[in-house]
Amino acid sequence: MPGIPDVHARLSADPPARVADVACGAGWSSIGIARAYPKARVDGFDLDEASVALARANVAEAGLADRVDIAVRDAGDSTLAGRYDLVTIFEALHDMSQPVEVLRRARGLLVEGGSVIVVDERVAETFTAPGDTIERLMYGFSVLCCLPAGLADQPSAATGTVMRPGTLRRYALEAGFRDVEILPISSDLFRFYRLRVGS
């Protein structure tokens, strides 16, 4: 987050910022954000009850239960409500059967000037054969895990782990975002996207 100066400033400021960590899994990203920003309040959501139970235990063990709340929620649920300065989706959008709907809900959670940050795999921008090591690794995960998981719920966009920047941009624009920026945050495995509503 320090690499995104205005988000860093808001998370550090008063009144305390609110963060929605969508598809929080075992809660590590929610915990990481709350640890880094002692004023911020984080609501983590995940569809999977076992992950939510684990996340709650992890949050309690980290001593953050007063600022991090974890709940079982479907990110595409039309009753998802709240006003958040930041919505994060770490390594999960490609798993979702309805990514456009989820991004539309995420957009609806933002306060004016708020942002959605999506972190997903740093796969190649276009398909090439043979792919590099990351492509092959991610296609392996996709075929064996993420794609079947995303297809279990129908209808499905069937994205899979190899979600290229062009695919995310299409989903974001369909969901009503104005623009998608690839953030200059260096990582071998992950690409950081900022989805913007306004200017």
Q: What residues line the site for ligand SAM (CB under 6 A)?
A: 23-25, 28-29, 45-48, 51, 74-76, 90-92, 95-96
Q: Which is nearer to ligand SAM, 14 or 188 (CB)?
A: 188
Residue 48 CB, nearest approach to ligand SAM (Å): 4
Residue 15 CB, nearest approach to ligand SAM (Å): 26
Q: Which is nearer to ligand SAM, 46 or 85 (CB)?
A: 46
Q: Enumerate the H helices of the chain as residue ranges.
A: 5-12, 28-36, 49-61, 99-108, 133-141, 147-151, 165-174
What are φ and ψ of residue 193, in 5° steps?
Answer: -115, 140
Evaluated on CA atoms 119, 124, 126, 130, the torsion sign reads negative
Q: In the structure encoding, which two tokens stand for residue 52, read together?
A: 């939510």
Residue 20 CB, nearest approach to ligand SAM (Å): 11
Residue 75 CB, nearest approach to ligand SAM (Å): 3
Residue number with the smallest Cβ distance to ligand SAM: 25
